[in-house]
Amino acid sequence: MGKRRKARELALMVLYELEFRPDPAATVLRDFWKSRVVPSDVQEFAESLVRGTAECADEIDRIIQASATHWSLARIAPVERNILRLAAYELLHRDDVPERVAINEAIDLAKLYGSQESGAFVNGILDQIRLQLHRATPSPAPHADG
């Protein structure tokens, strides 16, 4: 398993725990690492994903809600909801992660931790988010030859 994939898996575990634990992300992360030994670069990437996702939670939840046609955020299972949050954070705020990688990694996490339909569900919502991002990003102005 690649280091970034492992970091995403660990970040998902922390985000899932944050669903049910009212403590700040820093506290949950501190407690989470007490029982795990991972390479420092994996831990750093996982922590950056958790902190970024937590800091942008309101924005991310609005975008997921707008993209999840006929689904309220509360109706989405906690595992899928946090996979979507994690991937949406990467799509919106991580220039070092290609869109396809963020989406494919989320689909793989959904297949691993969700239900039989989770991969397709996550893919559909993330694809809508990706399309919205492209519509919101203005295309560069054509260059005039001079």
**In the chain, domain spans:** 3-136
pLDDT tops 70 at residue 25:
yes
Spatial CB neighbours of 46, under 8 Å, sequence gap ≥ 6 = 6, 7, 8, 10, 11, 14, 38
Given CATH 1.10.940.10, say whether it is the number of domain 3-136: yes
Amino acid letter, residue 40: S
Residue 14 pLDDT exceeds 50: yes
pLDDT at 119 over 90: yes
* 3-state class (DSSP) for residue 128: helix
Q: Which of 54, 9, 3 is nearest to 28 (CA)?
A: 54
Question: Is pLDDT above 50 for 29?
Answer: yes
pLDDT computed for residue 146 by the predictor: 45
Cα–Cα nearest to 125, from 76, 58, 55: 76
Taking each helix axis from N to C end, the angle separating 78-93 and 40-55, rounded to the nearest 10 degrees, works out to: 90
31-35, 48-52, 53-57, 131-135: least confident range:
131-135
Both tokens assigned to 101: 């990688």
CA distance 2 to 9: 11
Single-letter code of the amino acid located at 120: A
